[in-house]
């Protein structure tokens, strides 16, 4: 059972990594911002005693928007 569980986890992680291989730099920045925001939002939700899922969702949206803004700023300053 333990080997099956580890195999499934490995396949999921490998699929996620392979799925991100063809992203443009802009998509990578937006996705990174969303992931960082989701983590931060979940942590803040847990610390404040509110819903972790709600914090993660709000953080993901804010982080993705932040990643998009950073990308636009970098494009303008080239």
Q: In this predicted structure, what is the pLDDT of residue 23?
A: 84
Q: How many domains does the chain have?
A: 1
pLDDT digits (tens, 9 = 90+) for 49-59: 989 999 999 99
pLDDT digits (tens, 9 = 90+) for 24-72: 888 888 888 998 999 999 999 999 998 999 999 999 999 999 999 999 9
Residue 55 lies in a domain: yes
Residue 15 lies in a domain: no
Residue 28 lies in a domain: yes
Q: How far apart are CA 72 and CA 33, in angstroms?
A: 13
Q: In this predicted structure, what is the pLDDT of residue 55?
A: 93
Assign 19 a pLDDT band (cuts: 50, 70, 90): confident
Contact 10, 33 (CB under 8 A): no
What residues make up the domain containing 39? Answer: 23-76
Q: How far apart are CA 17 and CA 30, in angstroms?
A: 16
């Amino acid at each position: 059972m333990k080997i099956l569980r580890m195999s499934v986890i490995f396949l999921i992680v490998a699929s996620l990594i392979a799925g991100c291989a063809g992203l443009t730099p802009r998509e990578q920045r937006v996705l990174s911002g969303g992931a960082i925001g989701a983590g931060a939002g979940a942590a803040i939700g847990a610390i404040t005693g509110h819903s972790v899922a709600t914090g993660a969702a709000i953080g993901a949206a804010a982080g993705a928007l932040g990643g998009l803004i950073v990308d636009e700023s970098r494009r303008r300053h080239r």
